[in-house]
Amino acid sequence: MVSCDPSKKFMKQGNEQFEIGNMDGAANFYYNVLLVQPNNLEAQQALSKSGNQVLQGKFMMFSKYVVANEADLSVKQYLYCKKYFDRCKAVGVLLEWPSMYDPIYEDIKNEYISKKFDEGVKYMRNNRYAEAEKMFTEIALIDSSYNKATALRLKSIIEPLFQHGIKMKNEANYKEAYRDFNKVIDLDPSYKNAAAIRQEVILKASIDIGVMPVQNQTKIQGFDVRLYQLLVSSLQQNKSPFLKVTDRGGMESALREQAFGLKDIMDAESAAKVGKLIGLEYVLLSAMTDLVYEDEGLLLDSIIAYNAVSETTPSKNPTGIPQTITRFKKVYYLDEHQKRKLVMTVAYQLVSTQTGQIVSSESVKEELSDEFHSCSYAGNLNTLYPELPIGNTMPPKPAEFRDQFNQVKRDIRSKEDITRELCKRISDKMIEELNIYIEK
């Protein structure tokens, strides 16, 4: 028997699929041509053209999974892209690999593996070895450095994790290395020199932020001090092990040795220059740009309302029914009230001392108030209305109108209390934004 060459048929079918826009189908036919005729230049060029479009489409799907925060699907899709790339490469066609996606995948992969590892260890500690083994097998398929991990031998899990930490450290991915060594130490506190290496990567990944006093650009004094204290305190209590905070005292001490003072730091440019001189990596500048504090004290107002009085008049017809008429009389009730209100706007800039650039900036505005109203009326509250009727319909009596007569007089929040909470809100917002940058 003489075998016939199917390459021409495959090539024709590939071209037909290409013409109708089915790039995936076309690429598959061109691939099959190259399996039969590895040196078919026409098929190589056709697979390169169609395959690149297919690969681009697969990476678009990867991007969608990333945006949707689907770590599992993101990892699988990236590996699917890699498999497709290698498949084409095996028949002599080198597709255009979009390397811009690689660091995104590395971040997602490391976080994904870390979570899977935690699940596997949890299963082990609960003696659920089959489930743990399945988890470590999944990890090994994604990262070959874990391919010897087994739930039956603790050391077989720790050593790949330790080596992965070393790899991350050598690649200057210190935060991932820290995560790995944390897990090693959790499983075996004395394992090799994991504790010492963890401390080393903390030092390498740490950033030192100098926090300048809050500039007060308003006419009201005192609020800037409270905000600065809370800002420094919150940063120092930050959960990140990679953040070191140098407050006003520390900066003044360091600057004194260089014959400088805080007054020499006036803007981003001078902050970068002076901060670098004393070994800081970043300087945080902040300014209170707007501040409104209102407190009129205890006030007593006389408010207009309307008292309804019903009158019965006999009918003009001797056998008729008496008529009831409601008349409204203007009256006054007392409203004893007090209000404190604080509105604050703070602008900040995080300045890199290495580049002199402002790497993060924002303006944060917050408002907080407290007030009470205690109303009293000497007459009958059931006949009191806030407005006159329209036509023959009785006026409404809103629930909030009735409720204000049942309020118990109380002390409103103090100026100090309101200031503390508002400054805390602003401080938390600033740190939330800064953490996004720090975690990068």
What pLDDT digit, counting tens, does each position of 258-310 carry?
A: 777 777 777 888 888 888 888 888 888 999 999 999 998 899 999 999 999 88
pLDDT at 203: 85
pLDDT at 122: 86
Report d(CA 96, CA 271) in Å as an integer.
Answer: 44
CB 402 within 8 A of CB 348: no
pLDDT at 151: 59
pLDDT at 1: 32
State the Cα torsion 169-240-212-247 to the nearest 10°: -100
pLDDT at 311: 82
Question: Tokens representing 286?
Answer: 């902040």
Question: Tokens representing 164?
Answer: 């992965």
Report d(CA 124, CA 133) in Å as an integer.
Answer: 9
Radius of gyration in angstroms for the set of CA atoms belonging to the chain, rounded to a whole number: 36
Give the largest Cα separation in the chain, rounded: 127
Q: Say which amino acid occupies 80.
A: Y
What pLDDT digit, counting tens, does each position of 125-174 carry?
A: 787 878 888 888 888 888 887 777 775 666 777 888 898 899 999 988 88
Report d(CA 139, CA 111) in Å as an integer.
Answer: 12
| DSSP string over 162-194 | HHHHHHHHHTT-HHHHHHHHHHHHHH-TTSTTH
CB 288 within 8 A of CB 269: no
CB 168 within 8 A of CB 176: yes
| Number of neighbouring beta carbons within 10 Å of residue 168 | 21
Question: Tokens representing 41?
Answer: 């230049």
Q: Does CATH place domain 107-205 in 1.20.1070? A: no
pLDDT at 2: 38
Question: Tokens representing 148?
Answer: 């010897």
Beta-carbon contacts of residue 213 (< 8 Å; ≥ 6 apart): 224, 228, 248, 262
| Number of neighbouring beta carbons within 10 Å of residue 426 | 23
H helix or E strand, kind and range, residue 17? helix 7-19
pLDDT at 154: 67
Listed by start position, the domains of the chain span 7-97, 107-205, 208-291, 294-314+323-351+358-414
Per the DSSP assignment, residues forming a β-bridge with 330 are 306
Helix, coil or strand: residue 30 = helix
Report d(CA 225, CA 231) in Å as an integer.
Answer: 10
- Total-model pTM: 0.56
pLDDT at 124: 80
State the Cα torsion 255-260-265-269 to the nearest 10°: -100
Report d(CA 274, CA 277) in Å as an integer.
Answer: 5
Question: Tokens representing 212?
Answer: 């300048």
Report d(CA 123, CA 222) in Å as an integer.
Answer: 54
- Per-residue pLDDT in tens (0 to 9) along the chain, 440 residues: 334 568 888 999 999 999 999 999 999 999 999 998 999 999 999 999 999 999 999 999 999 999 888 998 999 999 999 999 999 999 999 999 999 999 899 889 888 888 888 888 888 878 787 888 888 888 888 888 777 777 566 677 788 889 889 999 998 888 889 988 988 888 888 888 999 999 999 888 888 888 888 888 988 888 888 888 888 888 888 767 788 888 888 888 887 777 777 777 778 888 888 888 888 888 889 999 999 999 988 999 999 999 998 888 777 777 667 777 888 999 999 999 999 999 999 999 888 888 888 888 889 999 999 998 889 999 999 999 999 988 778 888 888 888 888 888 888 899 899 988 998 888 888 888 777 776 66
